[in-house]
């Protein structure tokens, strides 16, 4: 199954956890990889780190 290509404009329109996920990927220097090759191109370690950061921010009440 082929994923839809996401653009920066699509990300800017997103809200909540979905947008946060892309923002964290950008902070980690992985956004280009995700936009070009999709989330499946990330390693388990990379996706786990993104999930961990998202959880930490949600607990701290930080919104994107």
According to the model, what pLDDT value does residue 3 have?
60
Per the structure, the complete domain to which residue 44 belongs is given by 8-58
H or E segment to which residue 12 belongs: helix 8-13
Number of domains present in the structure of the chain: 1
Tens digit of pLDDT at every position of the chain (64 positions):
556 788 889 999 999 999 999 999 999 999 999 999 999 999 999 999 999 999 999 999 876 5
Please choose, from the candidates 17, 3, 1, 58, the residue with its C-alpha nearest in 3D space to the C-alpha of residue 25: 17
Specify if 16 maps to a domain.
yes
Specify if 15 maps to a domain.
yes
Specify if 49 maps to a domain.
yes
Specify if 64 maps to a domain.
no
Which two three-digit tokens encode residue 31? 């956004």
According to the model, what pLDDT value does residue 4 have?
74
Specify if 33 maps to a domain.
yes
């Amino acid at each position: 199954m082929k994923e839809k290509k996401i653009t920066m404009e699509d990300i800017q329109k997103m809200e909540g956890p979905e947008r946060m996920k892309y923002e964290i990927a950008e902070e980690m220097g992985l956004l280009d990889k995700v936009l070009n090759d999709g989330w499946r191109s990330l390693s388990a370690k990379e996706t786990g780190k993104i999930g961990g950061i998202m959880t930490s921010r949600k607990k701290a009440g930080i919104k994107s």
